[in-house]
Amino acid sequence: MSYPPPIYRSDTGEASAWLRPADAAPELQGVNTQVHYLATGATTGGLFGLYRYEMSAARSGPDPHFHKTMAESFFVLRGTLRLHDGTGWRDLREGEFAHVPPGGIHGFRNESGEPVSMLLHFAPGAPRESYFEAVAEVARGERTLSPEEWTELYSRHDQYMV
């Protein structure tokens, strides 16, 4: 494996780092989740997306699915996350990490009865925010989707249910 071709071409660096305070409010408030948009595909130039996903003690999370255009990774900060790894459900505890390459079947949920906090990473970056927001609108009862509309939402957001 070698380094990829340069993205930055100048011979001098630049002051371009940005920071997000730990106490910044979540961008998305769902029924059983809060999502902090730490770094979106738009803010990273499509390199990756990183989200802090906070799940309440209530059972929630997506059923098994896969993505064709991106990898997804999980790092549990607090609690126990139930992860489907393509062969079955298993527990990921605080400090554990899972990586799912494109095409890898996965799902996640909180079944522990305790809050769960995790980092959710997508590479390359994709506009996942509008997917998260649509699902939250449904969960809050602000809209209803027919089976055909769910299929279209999933298709538009590179989510293929198993």
Q: Give per-residue pLDDT as tens, 98-109.
A: 999 999 999 999
Res 52: pLDDT: 98
Number of domains in the chain: 1
Which residue range forms the structural domain that includes residue 55?
28-161
Residue 122 has pLDDT above 90, yes or no: yes
Q: Is the pTM of this model over 0.85?
A: yes
Residue 5 has pLDDT above 90, yes or no: yes
Residue 60 has pLDDT above 90, yes or no: no
DSSP secondary structure of 72-112 = EEEEEEESEEEEE-SS-EEEEETT-EEEE-TT--BEEEB-S
Whether 10 maps to a domain, the answer reads no
Q: Tokens 């900060």: give the residue.
A: 77
> Which CATH number belongs to the domain containing residue 148 in this structure?
2.60.120.10
Whether 21 maps to a domain, the answer reads no
